[in-house]
Chain A
């Protein structure tokens, strides 16, 4: 059974700092990995998707890496801003029923002025 863990559970950083969020998964047989952000009381916004054959994806100030063999992914946020404050979720899609996403419990990020 796939399990996804995110560390840290919560993080507070001053504006402008670069930061790294971690995601680990127990079964390396994944199809892809997605990073999302969730604002309080809102839905999920998809940030990046990395296919299992890829090592990283970049979008603006965000960079996600994937090391499938070790079961790890990181989300790097450069030059953080208060608007980045949200909960960040990673989710993996297995190769069995490839469409089913297994989510981590998230990292709650607060970027302070």
Chain B
């Protein structure tokens, strides 16, 4: 059973470009979470999604960031017009159930560098 998959593992973007980060949850998991780890800081929650629904986006910056989890295909975290402060590791996690507090399984992360 493959774990949570994220791609790309490393992404370099110039200021002003768009970054698209993809996450495929574990088989049978319909709950996806995105977290961000800034350099020398802890992981911070960004957004929680179920298939075709955003459940909680309280940690998502109001501008430039968006997330989706379509009926088919991976979850996508999109960052428009990237700035240097967006450089971080972005982790995706999945669980088989959400509000019942199931264990979250994390992917290897995407390391975004904005030049």
Binding site for B on A (CB under 8 A): 31-32, 34, 36, 41-46, 49, 51, 89, 91, 93, 97-106
Known contacts A36-B106, A43-B107: A103-B43 contact under CB 8 Å: yes
Stretch from B13-21, B61-69, B71-79, B93-101 at the A interface = B93-101
Q: How many chain B residues have a CB neighbour from A under 8 Å?
A: 28
Cβ B56 vs Cβ A100 within 8 A: yes
Residue of B with least CB distance to A93: B101
Count A-B pairs with CB separation below 8 Å.
Answer: 68
A46 interface neighbour in B44, B56, B106, Cβ under 8 Å: B106
With A and B bound together, what is the CA distance between A42 and B111 in angstroms? 10
Chain B 30-70 near chain A by CB (<8 Å), digits 1 or 0: 01010100000111110010000001101100000000000
B7 within 8 A of A: no
Cβ A98 vs Cβ B44 within 8 A: no
B81 within 8 A of A: no
Residues of A within 8 A of B58 (CB): 97, 100
Cβ A46 vs Cβ B99 within 8 A: no
Cβ B103 vs Cβ A34 within 8 A: yes
Residue of B with least CB distance to A4: B42
Residue in A32, A91, A101 whose Cβ sees the most chain B Cβ within 10 Å? A101
Residue of A with least CB distance to B106: A44
A101 interface neighbour in B33, B107, B108, Cβ under 8 Å: B33
Cβ B106 vs Cβ A97 within 8 A: no
Residue of B with least CB distance to A36: B106
